[in-house]
Amino acid sequence: MGGSSVSNSIRSRDNFVIPYNHKLAPLFIRQALYDLIPEGTQHIYVIGIGSNRINGDSLGPFAGTLLKNSYPDHLTVLGNLQSPLDATTLVPEISNCQFRKNSFVLAIDSVFGSESMVNSIVVNNGPILPGIGLGNSIPPIGDSSITGVVLENDPALKESLLCTDLNVIYTMATSIAKGISLTIRQYFKYPSDQPILTFK
């Protein structure tokens, strides 16, 4: 992840933590992701995990919606606000997907965490266990993952997912989508004037 330190972020061997509203968050995400993509990768899949009916669980679908029309030659997005991948649809959808050879799978989801981590974006080297914070048993997904810590890991707060600040979720999703877009633009050598996000 480069030789210089990143101000206001935390990194370790397996993850990279970024404040959700940092003005350089998309660049930090790109920096973290670029080093995780194996050499020879030909296609990237983004799996946006979550619900479109629960504010705090909508991070993955939001990011998926922002990315779904970008870089069609090198990016496939599964899970968005129109067709979310929640606890009931995620496993069947992923099981039916034929991932291309030499592809890289990146999962996005909202999670619970320590009080100091709330409102952070975390780029993880390794898969995610979706739904574990709500007691769901779903197989690991992704070669790497990006999570947004939306609430403290306290059982008493889990009902607060319904009314989590949607501006926080949207800001996280936008930073994540921009960071992924910048990564793809750099990795696959798109022109620097290629739009970061494309809305249709």
Task: Tell me how crowded residue 50 is: count the other CB atoms within 10 A of its CB.
Answer: 29
Please name the helix (run of DSSP H) or strand (run of DSSP E) that holds residue 95, with its range, or none.
helix 90-96
Which residue, 73, 24, 25, is CA-closest to 173?
25
Please name the helix (run of DSSP H) or strand (run of DSSP E) that holds residue 150, with its range, or none.
strand 144-152
Higher-confidence position of 110 and 132: 110
Question: Does 60 score more than 90 pLDDT?
Answer: yes
Which residue, 67, 97, 59, 61, is CA-closest to 81?
61
Question: Does 175 score more than 50 pLDDT?
Answer: yes
pLDDT at 155: 78
pLDDT at 154: 84
Instruction: List, in order of start, the domains of the chain with CATH numbers.
Output: 10-187 (3.40.50.1450)
Question: Does 2 score more than 60 pLDDT?
Answer: no
Question: Does 169 score more than 60 pLDDT?
Answer: yes
The CA angle 38-39-42, to the nearest 5 degrees, is 90
Query: Tokens for 39?
Result: 């050499």
Which residue, 52, 32, 96, 106, is CA-closest to 74?
106
Task: Identify the DSSP state of 133.
Answer: G
Question: What pTM was estimated for this model as a whole?
Answer: 0.90
Question: Does 53 score more than 90 pLDDT?
Answer: yes
Question: Does 94 score more than 70 pLDDT?
Answer: yes
Confidence category of residue 131, pLDDT binned at 50, 70, 90: low
pLDDT at 136: 66
Mean pLDDT confidence for 34-54: 96
Query: Which of 99-103, 117-121, 153-157 has the weakest average pLDDT?
Result: 153-157
